[in-house]
Amino acid sequence: MTSSSPPATQKIVRIGGASGFWGDSMVAAPQLVKLGRLDYLVFDYLAETTMSILAAARAKKPEMGYATDFVDIAMSSVLGEVKRQGIKVVSNAGGINPHGCADALRALAGAEGISLRIAVVEGDDVGAQMPALRQRGVADMYTGEQLPEKVLSANAYFGALPIAAALAAGADVVITGRCVDSAVTLGPLMHEFGWTGDDFDLLASGSLAGHIIECGCQATGGLHTDWEDIPDWANMGYPIVECHADGSFVVTKPGGTGGRVIRAAVAEQMLYEIGDPAAYMLPDVTCDFRHVVIEQQAENRVHVSAAKGRAPSPSYKVSATQLDGFRCAGSLVIIGIDAEKKARRTAEAIIERTNGILRESGQQPFTSTYIEVIGSESLYGPHARTRRVREVTMRVVANHPQKAALALFAREIAPAGTSWAPGTTGPGGGRPAVSPLIKPFSFLLDKTAAPVAFVLDGERHPVSLPQAGGDTASPPSEIPAAYEDPDQPQEEVRLIQLAWARSGDKGDVSNIGLVARRPEWLPLMWDRLSPQAVRAYFSHLVHGPVERFYLPGTASMNLLLHDALDGGGPSSMRMDPLGKGMAQMLLDMTISVPASVAVQCAAAQRAGQHARQAQGPVL
């Protein structure tokens, strides 16, 4: 518990997170505006995969390239009330066409007779620089590959400074292109509290507040390990942060909504996709979250202490996309005895037949193919437990430089229904579509090469950035105290009995965060989950090294599994390209623990079951 509540006179800024990605629920913005008592409503739309989608959309229609849901669904449902309450709005929905997004919102406001000052942050589009950068030998920061000759988009990850500047100039709405997810929250906090570009601890703390709410309901019980304890999924509350000038904040949600704001879920979200927790690098600050303390303050109120920060890198990360051919993914349902074997043979036959047709017509074979049998635990590899399933979905994927070759592939999937395995069927829907294969790549660009500005009321305002410099070196890494096994018999328990976990991605790296259910168990977990042990467990999926990091403030650890996602994002052919299931797979790993710990685990499990029974069904 925190020692006390802030004085009544202390300024509190309430920010509601209404979107975790492009496609989040339409209930979020109306719920937060109606019930949230907000100062700011912020939206995050831009995953790296989303940039690929926007690039493809703009290639078809030049006026597109922004997250249309922001205008057509979110703002159209709340614009009048946002204006009446004086709520400011910040969104990165601009994607690769922020001015197009602003024009659409301006038209909506005009149709409703609402006066709205809309600022657009620009400068992140560095596509015109690509030929010169390629000539200079700039390479992909992960693979070392040379930059491609043709790109669909190239956008630098901007920070919060231009957002803060636009708000200071009187903007009601700020629309950005590519910025880091947390910047839509940090910008308002810099403006409201007067934080400057060298207040690194405060910038790291504000970035953490943004990071907690940037994925929507992941802060209010969504994706929580103990999902059975989270009530009323249909009416999940979206997150609100109550932020203080010292960088600390409280995570909560609108009253009367579903979900649950609990310490464990907030800790899971802090670890989500941050890599090295001592060096979470953002455009405005290098964050250190290792000693952040997260405490349950009251029901649906979790207090998060301030973080530490250091000077940022002098470079921006640039997220770029290129057209890398085409892809088609088809599926069939296979029922009956030996369903998995039938499904694999069916997929192999489809690939063999279509490759033969291509060969006979003088065309090149598929660039790559991939087969998965959903329902047989194919992702689990050697750890799969279901070996004799009787209903599965066969999924077969092919890449090819030519769209016509994949149209042929799509046509040859349905004939399996009468040609090969008994029990072959499907839910209908026709032939699978052929889609452009948009490959993302990333590189570093000096900040001076991407001048930042915002446009408000038709006037462009350059934004100056702090001079690069200061101590950017990472602090020494920490490890828990060495674990000493007591003189007791050892028993096997599943990791889920010791920890909560959440996973995500950064390109081809899988990030798994583990939070010990009891702080004293962290040294035991650290001892058992060595990089070698984790690498061995995932050897069928992970082809690079495993790193791990210790966070004493939350008794947690973060694992980075390199070369783990078949390229990651849209490049990956797997059904889990973003590694969302990796934590669930690891939690099923069994480790040896002293008998006394096994007893504690069993007691905690029984207590949880009794608590759920006492509460009745969680709907």
Mean confidence (pLDDT) of the chain: 94
Model pLDDT, residue 2: 41
pLDDT attached to residue 1: 38
Percent of the chain with pLDDT over 70: 97
| HSE-CB of 45 using CA atoms within 13 angstroms | 30
Q: Which residue has the higher pLDDT, 608 or 204?
A: 204
- pLDDT, tens digit (0-9, with 9 covering 90-100), for 387-435: 789 999 999 999 999 999 999 999 999 999 999 999 999 987 789 999 9
Close Cβ partners of 255 (under 8 Å, ≥ 6 residues apart): 35
pLDDT at residue 153, rounded to an integer: 87
Q: What is the DSSP secondary structure assignment for residue 312, as one 8-state letter?
A: P
Q: Distance (Å, rounded) from C-alpha 613 to C-alpha 591?
A: 28
Asked if residue 17 lies in contact with residue 209, where contact means CB atoms within 8 angstroms, the answer is: no
Q: CB neighbours of 164 closer than 8 A, spacing ≥ 6?
A: 187, 188, 190, 191
Phi, psi (rounded to 5 degrees) for 81: -70, -35
Does 131 score more than 80 pLDDT? yes
SS3 532: helix
In 102-233, where do the E strands start and end? Answer: 118-122, 153-156, 173-175
pLDDT above 80: residue 612:
no
Domain boundaries, the chain: 13-123+158-312, 320-440, 490-615
SS3 553: helix
Task: Give the tens place of pLDDT for each residue, 182-236.
Answer: 999 999 999 999 999 999 999 999 999 999 999 999 999 999 999 999 999 999 9
Check residue 61 and give its pLDDT.
86
- Per-residue pLDDT at 6: 52
Average pLDDT over residues 67-93: 97
Reported pTM: 0.94
With tokens 């962290």, the residue in question is 522
Measured on CA atoms in the order 403, 572, 213, 90, is the torsion positive or negative?
A: negative
Q: What is the reported pLDDT for 4?
A: 45
Specify the pLDDT at position 3. 41
Query: Rounded mean pLDDT of 475-504?
Result: 95
**φ and ψ at 76, to 5 degrees?**
-65, -25
Residue 444, pLDDT score: 95
pLDDT in tens, 370-390: 999 999 999 999 999 877 899
Measuring CA to CA, how many Å separate 36 from each of 27, 184, 252, 580?
A: 13, 18, 10, 29
The string of pLDDT tens digits covering residues 532-565 is 999 999 999 999 999 999 999 999 999 999 999 9
CA angle 395, 399, 402 (to 5 degrees): 135
Does pLDDT of 5 surpass 90? no
Residue 617 class from Cβ within 10 Å (0-12 exposed, 13-18 middle, 19+ buried)? exposed
* Dihedrals phi, psi of 324, to nearest 5 degrees: -120, 45
For residue range 509-527, what is the model confidence (pLDDT) as tens digits?
999 999 999 999 999 999 9
Phi, psi angle pair for 592, to nearest 5°: -85, 135
pLDDT for 469 equals 64
Lowest pLDDT segment from 104-118, 232-246, 603-617? 603-617
Q: How far apart are CA 609 and CA 465, in angstroms?
A: 54
Q: Tell me the pLDDT band of 9, cut-offs 50, 70 and 90.
A: low
Burial of 486 (0-12, 13-18, 19+ CB in 10 A): exposed
Cα separation of 374 and 179, whole Å? 36
Beta strands in 478-532 (DSSP E): 490-494, 499-506, 509-516
Which residue type, as a one-letter code, is found at position 581? G
| The two three-digit tokens of residue 579, written as one number | 């590694």
The CATH T-level fold of domain 320-440 is: Alpha-Beta Plaits (3.30.70)
Q: For 52-61, 237-246, 344-353, 508-517, which range has the lowest pLDDT when averaged over its residues?
A: 52-61
User: Is the pLDDT at 343 greater than 90, yes or no?
Assistant: yes
Answer whether residue 613 shows pLDDT above 80: no
